[in-house]
Amino acid sequence: MVARTRTLSLTHRLAAPVSAVLAASLDLDVELAAVRRYGVRTRPGGADARTAGRIGMGETVTWQLWPAGALGLPLHTSRIVELVEDDGAGGARFVDAMQRGLFAAFRHEHVLTPLDDGAGTLMRDSVTWRSPLGALGRGTDAVFVRRALLALLRARNAEIARRVEQA
């Protein structure tokens, strides 16, 4: 049986302009602060790799779970494959896609849209993934992966909100 692609979508309203939300969303330090309690860290990579600061178009980041990372087992390496800082309508978007890692496929689309009332930004995350290992992977999706991804996204979005809404 062919592995099924799963999708997880999440929206968050923020009382901050699109530009501030985009800057925080691209800042690896924000994400690291959000997911530290889950044992997620970055690890050094090649010449186009980032471990901290703002990640840009074409750059990569390798995420690892500790203690698995201590054993040299990265979770995955993602590359920014699309980055639109101004879509002409006041919005922005970027996409990071897995280059290598534990998933069969992984793609995270971030879409930022100004609210109609001008009072902030609607942040939409859409994560699609496909787990390897057939039935075992589908079982892992059902028991663990979706819940873990949702927790990580919620933590990330809360940290972004904390930083941009204080400013």
Give domain limits for the chain: 5-166
Reported as a pLDDT band with limits 50, 70 and 90, residue 127 is: very high
Nearest-angstrom CA–CA distance, 75 and 14: 29
Q: Which one, of 141, 149, 162, 166, lies nearest residue 35 by Cα?
A: 149
Predicted pLDDT at 104: 87
Sheet holding 105-114, edge to edge: 5-14, 121-130, 105-114, 92-101, 74-84, 60-65, 40-43
Predicted pLDDT at 1: 44
Q: Which of the four CATH numbers 3.30.465.10, 3.30.530.20, 3.40.50.2300, 3.40.1550.20 does domain 5-166 have?
A: 3.30.530.20
> pLDDT per residue over 54-99, tens digit each?
999 999 999 887 765 556 566 789 999 999 999 999 999 999 999 9
